[in-house]
Amino acid sequence: MHRRTFLTTVGAGLATTAFVVPPARAHARAVRAGTLDELRKAITAARPGDEIVLANGTYDVPDGQTIAIQGKRGTADAPITVRAESIGGVTLTGSSGFVFGDSSYVTVSGFKLRQRSTFEVPTTCHHVRVSRNDFQLADIEGMHWLMIRGDYSTVERNHFHGKSTLGVFLGVEGPGSDGMARGVRITRNYFSDHTFAGDNGGEPIRLGLSGRSLSDAGAVVEYNLFERVDGDPEAISVKSSGNTIRYNTIRDSLGGIVLRHGNRTRVEGNFILAGSNGIRIYGNDHLIVNNYVEQVGGSGVVLGSGNVQDHKPEDSPESRRGNDAPDRVTIALNTILSCGTAISGESQRTLPPRDCTIADNLLVGDSGKQLVSMPYLEGISWSGNICWGAAADGNIPGGFSRKDPKLATGSDGIRRLSSTSPAINAASKTYSNVTRDLDGHPRTGRADVGADEYSPAAPLNRPLTPGDVGPR
């Protein structure tokens, strides 16, 4: 029989009690620590299934000391958990904090982290979970706050906020100079208030580096909220291959979603609202589908150009830093509204996109704007797009019709199809690999144009708010 546990937390001035039935754990123990020395001893003695709880308070980790998690191995059914007594109830200060090595199936949860050095999960670890922490490390020039290098790590429900200097909130790398951690999941985190004024190097999430771009990471970045992240034009910077970026919300931010290096990434069902940058693409075989971009000052979607045609394993590090011209990219079933330009390209590099498809998107623009500005047209197939609004069509060469999509604004501010929209069942192509729309509703029959498949049912997915993400 499972042991029943009552947990009490305090938030927004109200105490709430959650009734939890945890899974059975072999040899599980609950160990309470009241000092850092007691915490270290408990971690050293920890066995699979143990939960180590540090009493609420502020603890300064002295210079030259750490909280080591070395050689600790939980299991999938019985992880080792090190947590604060209550979420946000423990503040850790000092030069360093948790230091991992040769460990697996370990969770660190509920702490306010205020150290002066990077929190790192190294390649000797796997299945580490960083959960429900508040990251506001020292604002040191060039210091990254969380660096994940261990396979199958999870970063969930944390809040990263308040950085004004060079350095990323969260980076994912891997072994050697060209490897990536595999299977990392980044979900339900809140990234806010990065104010670095430089033009590069202040990303909230950086998924790889140019030298690692051909490594398959298989990361999933989903259900994260970004607000006022102005440290870099790239809020989610993808520099590796084989990733999924879905159901995130970026609001009131300089940064957008950028596939800067790498191939075969799927960008699906994201909301980008009232910011400066939308989605920008380099590399090959990406799918950009079901995204909603509204009131972005620049372009909703940029299909880039290149100074390199396909990165190869034998390329020099210098070549890997170049922009790979997009090949076989599909941009379909997206809704792009009231942006500076709906879809654009780049003319500053000489290699154009090749064999790319822009189909069945809903493009609406305002007076004085244009919907499409594409300097390279030869390598792009256009079909089924619907254009509307006072904006000029631009140089879209065909593959579109001009029709009022008859949008209706929902309670969440998102403009979706109404029941009489000509976008319903109007897609020019079939999409066997796209089974749901932006809202989480099934795509049935011939798809509707744009990110929304008309349905009278309430949306399952909406733009995220701070109450949907973060530690609480």
pLDDT in tens, 246-286: 999 999 999 999 999 999 999 999 999 999 999 999 999 99
- Span of 4-18, 196-210, 324-338 with lowest mean pLDDT: 4-18
Contact of 170 with 137, CB cutoff 8 Å: no
pLDDT at 172 over 70: yes
Give the three-state DSSP class for 52: strand
pLDDT at 220 over 70: yes
- The first and second tokens of residue 155, run together, are 């970063």
Q: What's phi and psi for 293, nearest 5 deg?
A: -125, 125
Question: Could you tell me whether strands 415-417 and 407-409 are parallel, antiparallel, or unpaired per DSSP bridges?
Answer: antiparallel
- Span of 21-30, 142-151, 229-238, 356-365 with lowest mean pLDDT: 21-30
Domain ranges of the chain: 118-468
Residue 17: which pLDDT band, with cuts at 50, 70 and 90?
very low
Question: Could you tell me whether strands 400-402 and 380-383 are parallel, antiparallel, or unpaired per DSSP bridges?
Answer: unpaired
Percent of the chain with pLDDT over 90: 90
Mean pLDDT taken over the chain: 93
Contact of 152 with 130, CB cutoff 8 Å: no
Type of residue at 156: E
What was the pLDDT predicted at 27? Answer: 55
Tens-place pLDDT, residues 179-202:
999 999 999 999 999 999 988 999
Contact of 259 with 286, CB cutoff 8 Å: yes
Using CA atoms, how far apart are residues 367 and 338, in angstroms rounded to an integer?
A: 9
Q: Which of 108, 101, 113, 117 is nearest to 154 (CA)?
A: 108
> Could you identify the residue written with the tokens 């904090």?
97
Residue 15: which pLDDT band, with cuts at 50, 70 and 90?
very low
Q: Which residues pair with 163 in a beta bridge?
A: 194
Give the three-state DSSP class for 42: helix
What's the pTM value of the predicted model, to 2 decimals? Answer: 0.93
Q: Which CATH superfamily is domain 118-468 in?
A: Single-stranded right-handed beta-helix, Pectin lyase-like (2.160.20.10)
What was the pLDDT predicted at 313? Answer: 86
* End-to-end CA, the chain: 29
> Could you identify the residue written with the tokens 């995220």?
464
Rg, C-alpha atoms of the chain: 23
- The first and second tokens of residue 107, run together, are 């969770």
- The first and second tokens of residue 262, run together, are 């790498």
Give the three-state DSSP class for 410: coil
Tens-place pLDDT, residues 107-156:
999 999 999 999 999 999 999 999 999 999 999 999 999 999 999 999 99
Q: Which of 188, 191, 169, 171 is nearest to 180 (CA)?
A: 171
- Span of 129-133, 304-308, 452-456 with lowest mean pLDDT: 304-308
Q: What's phi and psi for 212, nearest 5 deg?
A: -105, 10
Q: Which residues pair with 354 in a beta bridge?
A: 327
